[in-house]
């Protein structure tokens, strides 16, 4: 087992990535923490993982997500320092959207910065996340009062930053060619329904499902089958309002599909 895979938040897209890597790599050691209370995982996971990682002379590569404070872990487990350390950034806390900038928790972004400095390779899931992180890192750190300005860190981080899109195993497409043309149109709603239903500060109004799927076609001539990846159930009082009177009872696979298609949503309530 030459690869050590660490995941402090083993759920959603984080679990999907680790499981895929574990399956493909075969010989690896997987150490994880449960996928709840994301904020606690981001702040404290290093200590818990440090105790759970079994010492081994066979490790050659350490890979972890950006939820882990890698610098803290290496300080606690100095036997891991010689390994090639790869950090995968599912999101970028320096540019992660918040309702008010003054409410942004500085610690999450700071943890990611020091983790990137401690890593040998930093993989971002998009060019946007990489570029926005690099652009924000020096202004972000220089906000610390009374500490003086740091030297230029961007070149150091840029040299190890890469973009690796989230790996997905695509199922065969050929069965779709033989599908009954009269069957319902399957619409996947990838938005965060917690925000949609007003359960988060970032809630925003949205158009009806049918207007997005086919603006000139009514539901009478275009039957819809809808999948919503969310923890919200049909019993939520705002469901009829949000879906503008549509046949929301036809919505399928709410909670079941959530774990399969979640995109770094860090649900922790």
pLDDT the model gives residue 267: 38
Query: Does 231 fall in a domain?
Result: yes
Residue 45 maps to which CATH number?
3.40.50
pLDDT at 69: 98
Tell the residue number behind the tokens 């549509």, with chain if given: 246
Question: For the chain, how big is the Rg over CA atoms in Å?
Answer: 22
**Stretch 13-19: mean pLDDT, rounded?**
92
Q: What is the predicted pLDDT for the residue at 216?
A: 44
Mind listing the pLDDT tens digit for each residue in 207-250? 444 444 444 444 455 666 666 655 555 555 555 555 554 444 44
Q: What is the pLDDT of residues 18-54, one digit of tens each?
A: 999 988 887 899 999 999 998 999 999 999 999 999 9
Answer yes or no: do 45 and 136 share one domain. yes
How many domains would you assign to the chain?
Answer: 2
Q: What pLDDT, in 10s, does the model give residues 67-86?
A: 999 999 999 999 999 999 99
DSSP secondary structure letter of residue 162: E
The pLDDT score that the predictor gives to residue 118 is: 98
Torsion, CA 81, CA 83, CA 84, CA 87, rounded to 10 = -60
Statement to judge: residues 29 and 140 lie in one domain = yes
Nearest to 139 by CA among 109, 160, 163: 109
What per-residue confidence (pLDDT) applies to 268? 36
Q: How confident is the model at residue 6 (pLDDT cuts 50, 70, 90)?
A: very high
Domain containing 186 equals 174-261
Distance CA 128, CA 157 (A): 15
Whole-angstrom Cα distance, residue 52 to residue 70? 15
**Confidence (pLDDT) at 243:** 54
Structure token pair of residue 218 = 């009514």
Pick the range with the lowest mean pLDDT from 43-52, 121-130, 154-163, 177-186: 177-186
Q: What's the rounded Cα separation, in Å, for the pair 121 and 227?
A: 36
Domain boundary among 103, 129, 163: 163
Place of tokens 């060619």: 177
- Could you give the C-alpha distances from 54 to 1, 45, 86, in angstroms and in order? 12, 16, 19
pTM of the predicted protein model? 0.69
Task: Tell me: pLDDT of 175 over 70.
Answer: no
Stretch 165-185: mean pLDDT: 71
- The span from the CA of 13 to the CA of 67, in Å, is 12
- Asked whether the predicted pLDDT for residue 264 surpasses 50, the reply is no
Same domain, 38 and 134: yes
**DSSP assigned state of 215:** T
User: Residue 33: which of 47, 17, 54 has the closest Cα?
Assistant: 47
Mean per-residue pLDDT over the chain, rounded? 78
Residue 174 has pLDDT above 80, yes or no: no
Q: Find the mean pLDDT for residues 104-125.
A: 95
Burial label for 216, CB within 10 Å (0-12, 13-18, 19+), is exposed
Residue 138 shares a structural domain with residue 228: no
> What is the rounded distance in angstroms from the CA atom of residue 64 to the CA atom of residue 28?
13
């Amino acid at each position: 087992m030459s690869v050590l895979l660490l995941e402090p938040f083993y759920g959603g897209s984080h679990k999907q990535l680790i499981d895929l890597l574990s399956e493909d790599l075969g010989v690896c050691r997987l150490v994880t923490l449960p996928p709840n209370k994301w904020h606690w995982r981001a702040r404290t996971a290093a200590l818990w993982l440090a105790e759970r990682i079994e010492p081994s002379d066979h490790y050659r590569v350490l890979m972890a997500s950006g939820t882990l404070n890698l610098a803290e872990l290496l300080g606690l487990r100095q036997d891991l320092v010689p390994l090639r350390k790869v950090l995968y950034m599912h999101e970028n806390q320096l540019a992660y959207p918040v309702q008010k900038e003054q409410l942004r928790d500085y610690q999450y972004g700071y943890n990611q910065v020091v983790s990137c400095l401690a890593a040998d390779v930093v993989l971002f899931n998009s060019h946007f996340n990489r570029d926005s992180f690099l652009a924000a890192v020096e202004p972000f750190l220089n906000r610390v009062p009374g500490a003086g300005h740091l030297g230029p860190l961007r070149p150091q981080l840029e040299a190890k930053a890469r973009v690796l899109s989230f790996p997905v195993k695509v199922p065969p497409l050929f069965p779709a060619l033989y599908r009954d043309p009269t069957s319902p149109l399957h619409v996947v709603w990838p938005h965060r329904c917690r925000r949609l239903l007003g359960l988060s500060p970032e809630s925003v109004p949205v158009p009806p499902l049918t207007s997005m799927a086919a603006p000139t076609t009514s539901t009478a001539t275009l039957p819809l089958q809808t999948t919503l990846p969310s923890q919200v159930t049909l019993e939520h009082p705002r469901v009829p309002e949000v879906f503008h009177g549509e046949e929301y009872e036809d919505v399928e696979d709410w909670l079941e599909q959530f774990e399969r298609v979640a995109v770094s949503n860090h649900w922790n309530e």
